Chain A
Amino acid sequence: MDVEEVKAFRDRCSQCAAVSWGLTDEGKYYCTSCHNVTDRSEEVVSAADIPNTKINSINRGLRQRSKHEKGWDWYVCEGFQCILYHQAKALETLGVSPELKNEVLHNFWKRYLQKSKQAYCKNPVRTSGRKAKVLEDSVQSSDLGSDLELLSDTTCPLESEAEFQSDPQIPKPFPVTKGSPKSASVCSGSVDGVEYSERKEKGLVKMTVPRTLALCSLSLLWQRETITVSDLLRFVEEDHIPYINAFKLFPEEMKVYGRDKGIFAIESWPDYEDIYKNMIELAIFLDLPRFPDITEDCYLHPNTLCMKYLLEVNLPDEMHTLTCQVVKLTGIGEVDFLTFDPIAKTKRTVKYDVQAMAVIVVVLKLLFLLDDKLEWSYSDLAEAYNEQHREDTPQFDFRKWYQVMKKTFDEKRRKWEEARARYAWKTKRPLYRSHIDKSVAYKRRKMVENLQKQFSALVGSSPVVEKQAPSSFQFNWTEEGTDSPCFHGHSLQGLLIMKGQSMITKNSLYWLSTQKFCKSYCKHVTTYEESNFSLSYQFILNIFSFLLRIKTSALHEEVSLLEKKLFEKKYNESKKSSGSKKGRRH
């Protein structure tokens, strides 16, 4: 490397006191006058390889080549950093503002490293039993604190990259010899993989791949972006956001094997409840302040989300006034209710998407009762009306909607299942437990590829399911007369009646989704035994929960919680008299 390029390192040589540095092949500085090689190494060597040079700041690994694997020495947290970087980049291509990556997620990550004592702190844990001592020049570390007051309301001052790179506080990792593990079978491609997987401390929230997603989700929430948790998970499922086998994005030189397998290999898609739980856990661990307010103009506000989901499930726009009313009555549109505050006593955040869907379910129940009777007799009326008034705006016909939805939804679900069955879980970089297994793993990989080639020749030219373009909508409802007619413009005329000044629903009955809430420690809200409910209710819960990729029971729970708020008074009475059907009028 050209001597002139080495400008970052300005120290005097310990041998001859000259300031003239060159770089060895291994990335270490050597003095061009006396050929003394230091143990300091060039940092930015791989700016191209590890693309986020900013987050790159803790990459202090000595880029040594080990005996077994001609790769870099890298740390587990660097792996997660790389995954986070790619996830953030993917979010950016999905249209999320770049601030998410550059500021919010970046700061969350730094804060995580600090809280988990991996960096930005006085005694970073690197290797068990051997706490790295703080380098002498870290006296100036007092300004670290200000660096990390990242979440103040003003946009937090970001360190310039140069500053970051020459950050003296970050200790150099101890040279951990790779050959040291207890036995040949306990090994890892990363420097600290074995120790990391064995690290257990009380109160420590270890980084995992699902938690990277939880971090992303937290940043999205912080930025009040228009991506809900269910959207995020769906994008993961559709491969728009790296998650499964995210390690394949690591630079070639970052070898992943042994214990790394347990840390980075993922064989399941993220689960809503799991990510949700992790979000709260992480927010508490990071000691985050109250998140920015969710007000009515935010995407995550139930009114906006209800509008979106009404469009998605092909229900009349007019229903929006009803959903707004329910939101108002239940108080779930309040800023304090909606805004996530990890410091608050009740450590929870709202499942915005699930809740909005639940509002729609409640409104459907208010309008149609969904007892497998009333909705059909209303449908007869609507059908008759529409027959006679072909020119008018059609009245919403539940039966017709059901037929359209059933057909489209069944088809969608079948395609979804097929796509899942075809999902390719394995990457070109096979994971193996130790060096001994390496050749076997690669051989097996090769064999699978060959066999796949053979079978793809039989499939023919037709490409197997092309990748879907990311979209926040999963259905496309077109105008009347096609396969997927649209009900958005249909009116609720036949379902509402005027009473005095206000409209009330023609149906005056209502049944509660649950009378029993679990009070034990199981954390369930209630149970959902499908067969106890009307077919219409089952159908609606099925399609709605499929759209969010959550369990049907989760939506049922949310509906129950919402009803509890809506009928608080009635609910309390019902406890005494245990009546099953409750009247309700707006």
Chain B
Amino acid sequence: MMSDFGEELTKLAVAEDNPETSVLSKTGMHFPWLHKHVEAVVTGGKKRKDFAQTTSACLSFIQEALLKHQWQQAAEYMHSYLQTLEDSDTDKRQAAPEIIWKLGSEILFYHPKSNVETFNSFADRMKNIGVLNYLKISLQHALYLLHHGMLDDANRNLSKAETWRYGEKSSSQEVLINLVQAYKGLLQYYTWTRKKMELSKLDEDDYAYAAKTRTMLSQSCKTSTNICALVKTPGVWDPFVKSYVEMLEFYGDQDGAREMLTNYAYDEKFPSNPNAHVYLYEFLKREKAPRAKLISVLKILHEIVPSHTLMLEFHTLLRKSDTEEHQKLGLSVLFEVLDFAGCNKNITAWKYLAKYLKQILVGSHHEWVEEEWKSRRNWWPAFHFSFFWAKSDWKADTDLACEKAFVAGVLLGKGCKYFRYILKQDHETLKKKIKRMKKSVKKYTIVNPGVHT
């Protein structure tokens, strides 16, 4: 397993170094297993050298120590593992810095005797072993500094990395440089929001106000150039997008913000990302966009995450819609939310469902309910409407129990356990409500009377 880890890294490094090979893989000519076979042929089945054997054992000892939080022990083995930097096997030697950086930074992050200085000197040394890792290490180094609240140092580090170049700018380098710049932008955003807060405390007539706004503006300009490049490359850049949008909106560039968010959500090159749609939806809501537009955004979110908290909002939007298609979707959205165990105590969802069921059945769209119920008939009774749930729901939240009881009654008939249990409860204040419920269940239930479950 350990050697696989190393191999994987090597492969990663190789893939990153030769953009051509990764292109090749897209054309379907990629045989990862072939590599291993070729290697076996090259070594001619010779016994693995003890050096390779002991260093890989050493690696697993380090990993074990890290898992058990034995930092001291891990440092001890690390001391020996460093010799892989001198491995006579070129491939392994080139893969070593990355492994050492990852393990070493982990150890130094947690080791009680370690401090920022130790970490800094380790990072600086590792940056200069093999140029391939310079950017990655710089970035992680900056994150470490951020974690320790050393924003200025982190910023300085990022600036240094930003201007660093090695050979021709490769695609992997470009992404990393963009990332470095974006993190710089994020830091600038941070100072910007701080300034904004200070500004909000100031009086507009204050002489300092103008100066402050000016510095803020320049800050935001820098930020946008820094973040801009990154958010154009496919990937998940949530924090960057969010802060960027906030700045754009602050300076009234609504179009810019919309364009960026739309691109972030709809560009097919980007990986599917629910937050992209959430951001876009929130932005449109702030903008007071028409309902149809909001619905179209949430429709995609619904496809990706049917249990998202925004789905209840989506339901209300659909309910208010004029088209029948939307109204029908409004029902399935509710059902789908309640399909998730995490949502089964969501009283709003149940309330919406109870209310909407009634509304639909009054509007005599029986078939919509039947359609949704068909696929859930075998499992919802046990999932939501068991005797156990009736008891525990009643104990925890009588309102929830009532809503659920109504839904149960409608869907399963008045003979169902859940409904019957709630009916039996003698509750002073809820007496009337339950009575009313009994009546409406009788009226609306989709189950033929006489057939009990």
Contacts and interface: CB of A to CB of B under 8 A. Distances in A.
Interface of A: 261, 265, 267-269, 417-418, 420-426, 430-431, 441, 444-445, 447-448, 450-452, 454-460, 464
Interface stretch (B80-88, B204-212, B247-255, B381-389): B80-88
A246 B39 CA distance: 30
A126 B128 CA distance: 44
A455 B51 contact: no
A422 B58 contact: yes
Given A454-B118, A454-B122, A459 B88 contact: no
B80 A458 contact: no
A431 B118 CA distance: 30
Interface in B45-78: 47, 49-52, 54-55, 57-58, 61, 71-72, 75-78
Contacts of A452: 79, 82
A241 to B, nearest CB: 16
A205 to B, nearest CB: 21
A426 B82 CA distance: 10
Given A422-B79, A448-B82, 11 more contacts: A261-B88, A418-B61, A420-B54, A421-B61, A422-B58, A425-B51, A451-B104, A458-B108, A458-B113, A459-B76, A464-B76
B79 A456 contact: yes
Contact of B77 (A269, A422, A424, A445): A422
A435 to B, nearest CB: 18
B83 A426 contact: yes
A418 B76 CA distance: 11
B411 interface: no
Contacts of A445: 86
B125 A421 contact: no
Given A417-B57, A422-B76, A423-B54, A451 B82 contact: yes
A454 B49 CA distance: 28
Contacts of B125: 447, 450-451, 454
B81 to A, nearest CB: 9
User: Main SS of chain A's interface residues?
Assistant: helix
17 contacts: A267-B88, A269-B50, A417-B57, A418-B61, A422-B80, A425-B51, A426-B83, A444-B86, A448-B86, A451-B104, A454-B118, A454-B125, A455-B82, A458-B71, A458-B72, A459-B72, A464-B76
Interface string B169-186: 000000000000000000
B225 interface: no
Nearest to B78: A455
B49 A447 contact: no
B114 interface: yes
A546 to B, nearest CB: 16
A420 B122 contact: no
A268 B50 CA distance: 4
Contacts of A426: 83, 86
By size class, the interface of chain B is: 35 or more
Contacts of A444: 85-86, 129
Contacts of A447: 85, 125, 128-129
A457 B113 contact: yes
B135 interface: no
B200 interface: no
Identify the 4 closest CB pairs spanning chains A and B, nearest first: A267-B51, A458-B75, A421-B58, A268-B50
A372 to B, nearest CB: 31
Nearest to B108: A458
B139 interface: no
B101 to A, nearest CB: 11
A444 B100 CA distance: 14
Nearest to A431: B88
Contacts of B72: 458-460
Contact of B80 (A261, A269, A417, A423): A423
A458 B85 contact: no
A448 B76 CA distance: 14
Nearest to B111: A458
Interface of B: 47, 49-52, 54-55, 57-58, 61, 71-72, 75-80, 82-83, 85-86, 88, 100, 104, 107-108, 111, 113-114, 118, 121-122, 125, 128-129
Contacts of A269: 50
Contacts of A425: 51, 54, 83
A459 B57 contact: no
B267 to A, nearest CB: 43
Contacts of B51: 267-268, 425
Contacts of B100: 451
A425 to B, nearest CB: 5
Nearest to A455: B79
A57 B297 CA distance: 91
A265 B88 contact: yes
B88 A458 contact: no
B75 to A, nearest CB: 4
Contact of B85 (A420, A431, A448): A448
Nearest to A261: B88
Nearest to A433: B88
B54 A459 contact: no
A267 B49 contact: yes
Contacts of B104: 451, 455
Contacts of A424: 80, 83
B57 A420 contact: yes
Contacts of A430: 86
Contacts of A420: 50, 54, 57
A444 B125 CA distance: 11
A445 B72 CA distance: 24
A458 B58 CA distance: 17
Question: Max chain B CB contacts within 10 Å: which of A261, A431, A458?
Answer: A458
A451 B118 CA distance: 10
B82 A421 contact: no
A261 B83 CA distance: 17
A459 B80 contact: no
Contacts of A450: 125
A457 B117 CA distance: 13
A30 B298 CA distance: 99
B126 to A, nearest CB: 8
Given A420-B57, A423-B54, A450-B125, A459 B86 contact: no
A261 B52 CA distance: 17
Given A267-B50, A268-B51, A459 B85 contact: no
B82 A458 contact: no
A434 to B, nearest CB: 14
Contacts of B82: 448, 451-452, 455
Nearest to B56: A421
A458 B54 contact: no
Given A267-B49, A450-B125, A459-B72, A421 B83 contact: no
B38 to A, nearest CB: 22
A457 B72 CA distance: 10
B78 to A, nearest CB: 5
Contacts of A448: 82-83, 85-86
A441 B86 CA distance: 8
Contacts of B71: 458
A458 B122 contact: no
Given A450-B125, A458-B114, A268 B80 contact: no
B50 A459 contact: no
A451 B80 contact: no
A457 B76 CA distance: 10
A431 B122 CA distance: 25
Contacts of A267: 49-52, 88
A421 B50 contact: no
Contacts of B55: 421
B80 to A, nearest CB: 4
B55 to A, nearest CB: 8
Given A268-B49, A444-B86, A451 B122 contact: yes
A458 B86 contact: no
